[in-house]
């Protein structure tokens, strides 16, 4: 069960920021004993991979905080974040951590399954993030972009740490995501109805 929670938390984190969970796993595996990556994922702890992830993370953090640029970034990240989510789920669910002592017991076969699950989770989170950002920009004249982006980065960091060290709390994050999703869809529907009503009233005038 912990394997699924760890993988889900890391994949959801990648949906917000593709590089944070991968970089965190690489750093913890390379410099601490908290994460022991499985043989197929040892490359995450390579020094060059960590450096590349750090550079990409820096670019992502800056680009995501600039209005208009953040939209272009989200379009590009439509491929990158789900891919990172698949990698994060696969590596995280197969790693031995302080809470997961026998990861092979869950994913003993069908190694592609956790990767596909991670892709779908990250894609869902990414699509919600990408859909919400234009609304934030429009309602705040662009000033809300850096605030929203900072909050997303912080959430991605916290969720990654929790997924690796205290995965049971991932349930709270996932529950919060579902609540936010329902609220967002309901609010978006209300805004569409308001715009249609306003256009109808304009035509009548």
Give per-residue pLDDT as tens, 99-135: 555 555 555 555 677 788 889 999 988 988 888 887 7
Question: Which stretches of the chain score pLDDT less than 50?
Answer: none
Beta bridge partners of 96: 36
Beta bridge partners of 35: 97
Give the pLDDT confidence score for residue 97 in this predicted structure: 63
Give the pLDDT confidence score for residue 146 in this predicted structure: 86
Nearest 5°: CA angle at 130, between 126 and 135? 145
Q: Residue 44: which domain range?
A: 2-177
Domain-embedded: residue 166:
yes
Q: Residue 114: exposed, middle, or buried by beta-carbon count in 10 A (0-12, 13-18, 19+)?
A: buried
Domain-embedded: residue 100:
yes
Give the pLDDT confidence score for residue 107 in this predicted structure: 55
Number of domains in the chain: 1
Give the pLDDT confidence score for residue 48 in this predicted structure: 95
């Amino acid at each position: 069960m912990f394997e699924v929670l760890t993988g889900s938390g890391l994949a959801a984190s990648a949906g917000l920021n593709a590089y944070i969970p991968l970089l965190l796993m690489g750093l913890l595996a390379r410099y601490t004993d908290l994460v022991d990556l499985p043989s197929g994922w040892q490359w995450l702890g390579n020094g060059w991979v960590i450096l590349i992830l750090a550079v990409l993370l820096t670019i992502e953090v800056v680009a995501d905080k600039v209005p208009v640029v953040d939209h272009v970034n989200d379009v590009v990240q439509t491929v990158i974040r789900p891919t990172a989510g698949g990698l994060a789920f696969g590596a995280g669910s197969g790693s031995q951590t302080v809470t997961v002592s026998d990861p092979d017991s869950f994913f003993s076969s069908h190694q592609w399954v956790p990767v596909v699950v991670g892709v779908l989770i990250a894609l869902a989170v990414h699509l919600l993030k990408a859909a919400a950002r234009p609304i934030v920009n429009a309602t705040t004249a662009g000033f809300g972009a850096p605030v929203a982006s900072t909050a997303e980065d912080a959430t991605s960091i916290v969720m990654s740490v929790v997924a690796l060290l205290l995965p049971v709390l991932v349930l709270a994050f996932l529950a919060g995501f579902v609540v936010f999703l329902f609220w967002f869809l309901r609010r978006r529907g209300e805004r569409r109805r308001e715009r249609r009503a306003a256009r109808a009233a304009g035509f009548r005038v």
